[in-house]
Structure 1
């Protein structure tokens, strides 16, 4: 049989998963946390992994402020399809030069030695694996011989020029240390901003955001 949380193969009669520590009776539905702040957040998207994506918690990124969400028009998880650039009088597109990408890029430097430049969305872990129906730009695999980092430990993405992270119900948790602030233990499944200069601790390992 297989663990219904992480998909690892389990021996007959097992009561707990040796990979993620979940009970063999656990399901993604049972692992979904109850939102403790229903008055100021709302669900954007639910995936089969049990991760709940909610609006960011209002912490402004380093270079761009976050607009307050409008209750009548909640944010959506899907990005709108961009219209192709209109041609100029000479027939060439009037958009940015060919090859130029306006998506912000972030450099993640890990204590394990890896340095990765990312943009868009991704997963970080010893062997990150999307759940059925999920798609990510990056799957960042790091070496952690102590196994303190879960196979799929952290999800990340971009919001108005800043990086956000979300713990993916990891075994040892995720701690975010923003510049000049105390550490914040991330609630599994909740997105929090990690501005440039932040340190993200995942198990016994960590990475910085630049």
Structure 2
């Protein structure tokens, strides 16, 4: 307080505005932060169970350690297990995708094509191909591709504008979303306003 004389029963000073009943202890503000000290009780120790063999009479059998041998004959090595037949893995062909935007991508395995291809958390792809489409006709994750027995396939990922395969023999196929379609070399795959050739 400033020391000004206060009338009886005054709660605040008319000069400085401070409380006449407040003390340093009541002026202290409570700490809004939670207590950051946590006491963790130790876990109860589990008893260790040791298996002890019992004899036929129900008594505990105490194993007797063998007497140390001075010389031991050389132990014969066990026969080698028979060799397993080699599993022949399917060979992967390398396909080259030439895009209408000017990019050329080598596709030796699986991949995802789109404006911003993003696999699902459980999916894994060898290649992510980003298509520069200023008109934004290509979906973010438009198309999935891979190989089966050395042949290239594509699958539309429920894209907004769909996928059309134009094969070299002049047949055209509109892809049903979620279904795989084989694409022979020399085919053109149209993804909305863009396309790529498979070589």
Q: Which residue does 2:196 correspond to in 1?
A: 207
d(CA) in 2 for partners of 1:181, 1:135: 33
Asked if 1:134 corresponds to 2:123, the answer is yes
CA RMSD of aligned residues (A): 2.1
How far did residue 142 of structure 1 move? 1.2
How far did residue 84 of structure 1 move? 10
Asked if 1:105 corresponds to 2:94, the answer is yes
**Long gaps (5+) in structure 2:** 1-83
Q: Which residue does 1:182 correspond to in 2?
A: 171
Larger Cα Rg: Structure 1 or Structure 2? 2
How far did residue 119 of structure 1 move? 1.1
How far did residue 182 of structure 1 move? 2.4
**Long gaps (5+) in structure 1:** 1-82, 86-94, 96-100
How far did residue 183 of structure 1 move? 1.4
The equivalences for 1:1-210 within 5 A come to 102-210=91-199
2:125 is paired with a residue whose SS is: coil
Moved over 6 A (4+): none
Give the alignment's TM-score, normalised by structure 2. Answer: 0.55
How far did residue 115 of structure 1 move? 0.3
Between the two structures, name the one with larger relative contact order (CA 8 Å, sep ≥ 6). Answer: 1
Query: What count of residue pairs does the alignment treat as equivalent?
Result: 115
